[in-house]
């Protein structure tokens, strides 16, 4: 059975390669036509998707999925229109393929340029939300990649309906349906087969919790990009404007608690602790946030004593770890020890502190007097996002179309040979 | 013992992190001063290096190393001056750290920029040549990275002497000596510990043969960049100028056979086979190249019958696999099946063929009417090179200083919070 599954995944990857070899030659016009066709077909055939989605919701309810998961799984006309609009937005973005990154005429006359090219075959592993299926297919297509989509089993009917519509749209404009394929989703082993299909798959992007990311890191032989784990800190410096600090802490923590750019830890400089610790504790508690603190924080009413574990926890809930630090140095060291390299913020009015913090903190994004919530492809002006990379290799921070490409050096000569050295 | 070795590697990585945290704040002035000091110290203390090198050569001779390996291991005043000049060249290159890659003021007034930052702690695994020790240390330093160098045991004395001089030079200019460290080299396990030191090491670059690369791919949990394996092809199209074709094939094959950008396979379009196959066979044989051919090639005097294995072999010697293909399509397919993604060349006078070949061949570099030998950091104007990446993630082709960096998004605001959506 497992060997069958392996062969199923590999066969899909081989079909994806054939599709990718055709897609690399597709003009932007054709790719955009496919995206518009996909959007129109999703709207026209929304009923098919909703019927399939109803089956998933029924099965999810019977299986006892939480309200939150069921909500993420649920589609309606408005959500389908939303993903269709997303495809139209992607059609409006510049084509990353062919962009000349560098180029020059070498001293010997060789014309050299480095151009963006598709990765080739890209795998995506993701969880409940079926809209990711459409987003990922659209971004992969625009960046010239064939997509292997491995969604959650709880969304199987929805994903199957969506992918059938996307594949029909590809064929309508004369592109291979195998640019978009759904992988078997019932067995964790299909993820293993995907991330070990070296040579068949060029890149896998896992979107999910620490468990998935860890499994991928340990087992993958295919290149991968880690996304989506964020233990983000807000550090309130001695020189901070406390009104600004309160606003940023509250927004970073409470705007949406389930997202990776939400703050999970608060660090307050000791020079302002007497004033700011009671104030921010009360403000957080007024918004139903449980504060897990030590030292001055632990002495406030209703604060839970922080354990070592709290500093490393991505709560994704109305909880925050909080501690007083004696210096910017201590804040930087705390973040180095406990941060996940996603987003770190400083609130300060001191230029030197801001410069030190941005230079020394090692993370995908560093905010000065701004909420951690801004780390987002749309906010950064990328138009669309496939995830937020927390690794340093290839892509760091929000990943748009460019981050789904590789590059190639092309040199044109007229019989150029290299002399012996 | 193995646990001791693991702890030794991890302790070196932790010292490297402390050094990297200091190095990230070093100005270009200070880094360049270190590079010049290193160069001066290498020249002033050349005798120490030569004494150590003599021990390595003696041990290598006794252990029966080949003439070729002994030559690569050997240092003399001129080679030491060469590596010192290399450091001075690197000092003259622009600092990649801090380069602003993108930036804008967002609609809400947030000032956003994406800047290059060092990777942090970078490991290098390489073979005999001790000059790589100095090159790698210099490139890592300039790009703000602490280097963990794992050279070959045959060069242990030379590398130890070189690194002692480089570390003294770092201290002379007030930078941490631990920016440059040599790892134990007697046990393959030190490589394993390096590539699994996740969280302690940010990037490992293996430079070596397919065996090393494979071990790294299978075992690594640290991000890696594959370098240095090249099964490069020259495809002579139907429309090729045969004088140009002969020149390019000979240069690609014979300029230096031991390097990864040397051609290992020749593909000739059937329309010109009658004329070109005898001609290029004779020309290659006149330069002592053994041709491993099938079909029309196999019918030439002195040609060895090619086996399936030949198409996948990186000879690194005066051998070439040769075959006649019926179309550009067939050439592209042969390269997709057997190429290693390094450098592929077409000789053609037909613009359409050149465009098709450059668009469809998936490799780090594609040459039109130019020798495969041009794929090289210095030739491409990078000033220096740490290796040639054959992977698609992060860096592809010659890797200079920029390729040793990651990036970071920095946003400056004045109390910016993100509205609920």
- Tens digits of residue pLDDT in B218-270: 889 999 998 878 999 999 999 999 999 999 999 999 999 988 999 999 999 99
CA dihedral B97, B99, B100, B102 (to 10 degrees): -90
B344 and B365 housed in the same domain = yes
- pLDDT tens-digit map of A331-340: 999 999 999 9
A313/B156 Cα distance (integer angstroms): 44
Contact, B154 vs B65, CB < 8 A? yes
Using CA coordinates, name the residue in chain A closest to B27.
A359
A129/A207 Cα distance (integer angstroms): 11
**What are the angstrom distances between the C-alpha of A401 and each of A119, A202, A390?**
11, 16, 17
In a domain, B421, yes or no: no
Q: What is the pLDDT of residue B172?
A: 98
**Contact status of B380 with chain A (Cβ, < 8 Å):** yes
Quote the tokens at residue B70: 């002994």
Could you count the other beta carbons within 10 Å of the beta carbon of residue B214?
15
B293 and B180 housed in the same domain = no
B107 and B247 housed in the same domain = no
> Dihedrals φ, ψ of B255, to 5°?
-55, -55
B396 and B357 housed in the same domain = no
Give the range of the structural domain holding residue A338, as residue numbers without chain letter. 232-374
Q: Could you say which of A203, A371, A409 has the minimum Cβ distance to residue B417? A: A371
Distance between A1 CA and the closest CA of chain B, angstroms: 24
Interchain proximity A370–B415, CB inside 8 Å: yes
Contacts of A392 in chain B (CB under 8 A): 119-120, 202-203, 223, 406
Contacts of B385 in chain A (CB under 8 A): none
A282 and A198 housed in the same domain = no
**Contact status of A215 with chain B (Cβ, < 8 Å):** no
In a domain, A379, yes or no: no
In a domain, A381, yes or no: no
B51 and B167 housed in the same domain = yes
Task: Using pLDDT thresholds of 50, 70 and 90, give the confidence band for residue A2.
Answer: low
**Integer distance in angstroms from the first to the last C-alpha of chain B?**
57
Predicted ipTM of the assembly: 0.94
- pLDDT tens-digit map of B101-127: 999 999 999 999 999 999 999 999 998
Q: H or E segment at B166?
A: helix B156-172
Average pLDDT over residues A83-106: 96
B180 and B292 housed in the same domain = no
A38 and A77 housed in the same domain = yes
B326 and B406 housed in the same domain = no
In a domain, A92, yes or no: yes
In a domain, B142, yes or no: yes
- CATH code of the domain in which B337 resides: 3.40.309.10
- CATH code of the domain in which B169 resides: 3.40.605.10
B212 and B299 housed in the same domain = no
Using CA coordinates, name the residue in chain B closest to A345.
B411
Q: What is the pLDDT of residue B226?
A: 87
Task: Using pLDDT thresholds of 50, 70 and 90, give the confidence band for residue A49.
Answer: very high
Contact, A357 vs A348, CB < 8 A? yes
pLDDT at A35 over 90: yes
Q: H or E segment at A82?
A: helix A77-92
**Contact status of B106 with chain A (Cβ, < 8 Å):** yes
Helix (H, G, I), strand (E, B) or coil at A357: helix
B121/B372 Cα distance (integer angstroms): 33
**Contact status of A121 with chain B (Cβ, < 8 Å):** no
Strand B405-416: give its sheet, edge to edge: A304-305, A290-293, A319-325, A263-269, A232-236, A343-347, A365-370, B405-416, B111-118, B100-105
For chain B, what is the mean pLDDT? 95
Q: H or E segment at A412?
A: strand A405-416
Task: Using pLDDT thresholds of 50, 70 and 90, give the confidence band for residue A69.
Answer: confident
Beta A304-305 vs B100-105: how paired, if at all? unpaired
Chain A segment 7-36 residues within 8 A of B by beta carbon are: 21, 24-25
In a domain, A317, yes or no: yes
Using CA coordinates, name the residue in chain B closest to A388.
B409
**Contact status of A170 with chain B (Cβ, < 8 Å):** no
Interchain proximity A380–B409, CB inside 8 Å: yes
Interchain proximity B367–A411, CB inside 8 Å: yes
Task: Using pLDDT thresholds of 50, 70 and 90, give the confidence band for residue A211.
Answer: confident
Q: What is the pLDDT of residue A68?
A: 84
pLDDT at A1 over 60: no
Any idea how long chain B is? 421
Interchain proximity A410–B366, CB inside 8 Å: yes
Task: Using pLDDT thresholds of 50, 70 and 90, give the confidence band for residue A322.
Answer: very high
- pLDDT tens-digit map of A117-172: 999 999 999 987 899 999 999 999 999 999 999 999 999 999 999 999 999 999 99
Q: Which of B126, B92, B174 is nearest to B383 (CA)?
A: B92
**Contact status of A329 with chain B (Cβ, < 8 Å):** no
Task: Using pLDDT thresholds of 50, 70 and 90, give the confidence band for residue B295.
Answer: very high
Q: What is the pLDDT of residue A345?
A: 98
pLDDT at B1 over 80: no
Q: What is the pLDDT of residue A27?
A: 97
B335/A362 Cα distance (integer angstroms): 41
Interchain proximity A221–B218, CB inside 8 Å: yes
B241 and B140 housed in the same domain = no
Interchain proximity A420–B362, CB inside 8 Å: no
Share of chain B above pLDDT 90, in %: 89
User: Which residues lie closer than 8 Å to B406 by C-beta, 6 or more apart?
Assistant: A392, A393, A396, B116, B117, B118, B119, B202
pLDDT at A209 over 80: no
Q: How many domains does chain A have?
A: 2
Share of chain A above pLDDT 90, in %: 89
pLDDT at B2 over 80: no
Tally A–B CB contacts below 8 A. 202
In a domain, A387, yes or no: no
Interchain proximity A24–B417, CB inside 8 Å: no
**Contact status of B78 with chain A (Cβ, < 8 Å):** no
Interchain proximity B393–A223, CB inside 8 Å: yes
In a domain, A380, yes or no: no
In this prediction the pTM is 0.94
Range with the lowest mean pLDDT among A211-220, A384-393, B411-420? A211-220
**Contact status of A373 with chain B (Cβ, < 8 Å):** yes
Question: Environment class of residue A6 by beta-carbon count within 10 Å: exposed (0-12), middle (13-18) or buried (19+)?
Answer: middle
B137 and B51 housed in the same domain = yes
Interchain proximity B410–A202, CB inside 8 Å: no
Average pLDDT over residues A283-303: 97
């Amino acid at each position: 059975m497992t060997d069958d599954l392996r062969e199923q995944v590999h066969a899909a990857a081989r079909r994806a390669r054939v599709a990718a070899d055709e897609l690399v030659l597709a003009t932007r016009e054709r790719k955009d036509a496919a995206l518009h066709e996909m959007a129109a077909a999703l709207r026209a055939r929304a009923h098919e998707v909703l019927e399939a989605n109803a089956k998933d919701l029924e099965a999810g309810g019977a299986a006892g999925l939480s309200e939150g998961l069921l909500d993420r799984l649920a589609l309606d006309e408005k959500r389908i229109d939303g993903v269709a609009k997303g495809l139209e937005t992607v059609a409006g973005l510049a084509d990353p393929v062919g962009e000349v990154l560098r180029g020059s005429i070498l001293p010997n006359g060789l014309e050299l340029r480095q151009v963006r090219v598709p990765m080739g075959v890209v795998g995506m592993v993701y969880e409940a939300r079926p809209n990711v299926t459409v987003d990922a297919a659209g971004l992969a297509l625009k960046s010239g990649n064939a997509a292997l989509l491995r969604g959650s089993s709880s969304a199987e009917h929805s994903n199957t309906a969506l992918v059938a519509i996307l594949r029909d749209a590809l064929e309508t404009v004369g592109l291979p349906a195998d640019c978009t394929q759904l992988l078997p989703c019932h067995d964790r082993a299909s993820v293993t087969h995907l991330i070990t299909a070296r040579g068949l798959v060029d890149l896998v992007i896992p979107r999910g919790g620490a468990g998935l990311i860890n499994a991928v890191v340990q087992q993958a032989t295919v290149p991968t990009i880690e996304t989506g784990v964020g233990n983000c800190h807000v550090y309130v410096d001695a020189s901070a404007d406390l009104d600004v600090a309160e606003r940023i802490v509250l927004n970073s923590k409470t705007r949406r608690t389930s997202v990776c750019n939400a703050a999970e830890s608060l660090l307050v400089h000791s020079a302002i602790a007497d004033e700011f610790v009671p104030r921010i504790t009360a403000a957080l508690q007024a918004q139903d946030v449980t504060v897990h603190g030590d030292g001055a924080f632990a002495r406030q009413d209703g604060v839970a004593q922080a354990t070592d574990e709290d500093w490393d926890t991505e709560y994704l809930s109305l909880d925050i770890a909080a501690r007083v630090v004696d210096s910017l140095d201590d804040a930087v060291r705390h973040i180095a020890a406990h941060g996940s390299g996603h987003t770190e913020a400083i609130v300060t009015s001191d230029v030197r502190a801001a410069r030190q913090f941005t230079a020394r903190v090692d993370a995908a994004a560093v905010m000065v007097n701004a909420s951690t919530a801004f780390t987002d492809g749309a906010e950064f002006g990328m138009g669309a996002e496939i995830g937020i990379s927390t690794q340093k290799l290839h892509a760091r921070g929000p990943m748009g179309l460019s981050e789904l490409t590789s590059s190639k050096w092309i040199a044109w000569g007229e019989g150029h040979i290299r002399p012996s050295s």
